[in-house]
Amino acid sequence: MNGRVGAVILVLVGLGLGATLLRDQVPLGTSQTAPAAAPAQNPVAAEAGAKLQNEQNTIDVVSRFEPGLVFISTESEVVSQNPFGMMFGQPDTQVQQGVGSGFFVNDAGDILTNYHVVAGESSSGAAQKISIRVMGQDRSVPARVIGLAPQYDLALIRPEGLDAKFIRPIPLGDSDTLKVGQKAIAMGAPFGLDFSVTEGIVSSTARQIPIGFGGAGGQGITQKAIQTDAAINPGNSGGPLLDSGGRVIGINTQIISPGVQAGGTGQSAGVGFAIPVNAAKNLLPRLQAAKGGIITAPRIGVVAGLQVQGQGQNIPVGLSALSPQGKEQLNLPESGLVVGEVTPGSPAAKAGLKGGTDTQEFRGGQIALGGDVITAANGNPVDGVEDLQAALIDRKQGDTVTLKVWRAGQTRDVTITLDASSFQ
């Protein structure tokens, strides 16, 4: 508000126009006392009151649920490639340390965090030593891995020897109901400053970013993440993102940092990302049953047939990435996942899906033609690998998935039954 408009409003309030109009309506010759004008509300005081309500909500959420946050530290022994040490049979070893965050999800003491928080050297399996510390305690206790999901950048660990009174689960919310502009509270250990809190809003509810790691767990998955401007920094990874009710809506995982791009230290630029909690909720049963092993995303046995050139690798994309003219020229639908290859003996092969028979190169990528295009899964549109993964993420062996498949201008429904190969 500029000074001139503010002055006009203050003058109008000071005039007491409501009382003046009432006096003008009193008939001549009668005596009636006009009621006193209601005291004007001070806009500055009203704004201060609103702030205090928001502050009190944050205070309440933090005081109630911050005890469910845990500080995670890891150690891994790394053998240095020192030729002189190796020559004399004395390899030079160093201890690689890491820190991050996590939070309790149940009374058994299971702690949800990011895979990269507890990963070992080169993101291959878990670190050799994992310790956790709860709020208000100086002593750390060891933790063991319950399950790892590198593709989703999620992990479940459990402390050993921790008094049950310190286990304070934080309730899990529903990330599918999030709205842009909604309050977001991030908890964690930025730069190792354990048990820190920041606040912001949900900036986007479906920002597609690459999440996860390859290696033994397969390829990382491009997922729909929650974007927030709540300050998230290195060390916040694995910590919870909460709503105003104190429910976990996401697991903090990544930031966009111009500092890193310029060769400096990574730090918050107001663009942070969290894995939607519903993805973690769907994976929890599998993580709890993993017996310390790795779980992978279910697969039906198809390879994306439309790929574009990325940084050092080809990236699978949906048909919406092509221009309308290109799709019309190739006689393809508006959107969908092009099937490039079908793995023999896979659920997709058993259901009769067909891969491409011809590959056409174009500037910046390639596309397989002559095969199927998956346009929907379980009634939800599919326009990329992440959409198909979303339909499979909570499935188990024996479950079915209904796909809408386009082939040569005709669309039909295909039922896929997941088997043991889907989870290998």
Q: Point out the residues that are catalytic.
A: 116, 153, 237
Task: For residue 19, give the H/E element and its range.
Answer: helix 17-24
Neighbouring C-alpha atoms within 13 Å toward the C-beta of 315: 14
d(CA 71, CA 130): 11
Cα-Cα-Cα-Cα dihedral sign, residues 332, 338, 341, 345: negative
Q: What is the spatial distance between Cα 280 and Cα 232, in angstroms, rounded to a whole number?
A: 19
Opening angle at CA 114, ends 111 and 119, nearest 5: 105
Q: Determine the residue type at 378.
A: N
d(CA 373, CA 317): 12
* Distance separating alpha carbons of residues 42 and 375, to the nearest angstrom: 56
SS3 230: coil
**H helical segments located in 25-150:** 43-65, 83-87, 115-118
Three-class SS state of 257: coil
Cβ-based neighbours of 424, under 8 Å, separated by 6 or more: 296
User: H or E element: which one contains 377?
Assistant: strand 373-377
Ordered strands of the 306-309 beta sheet: 314-316, 306-309, 365-369, 358-362
- Whole-angstrom CA distances from 405 to 356, 359, 371 are 14, 20, 10
State how far the Cα of 390 lies from the Cα of 388, in Å rounded to an integer.
5
On whether the CB atoms of residues 272 and 252 are closer than 8 A, the answer is yes
DSSP, res 192: G
Token reading at 200: 């912001």
Which tokens belong to 48? 């201060």
374's tokens: 């998956």
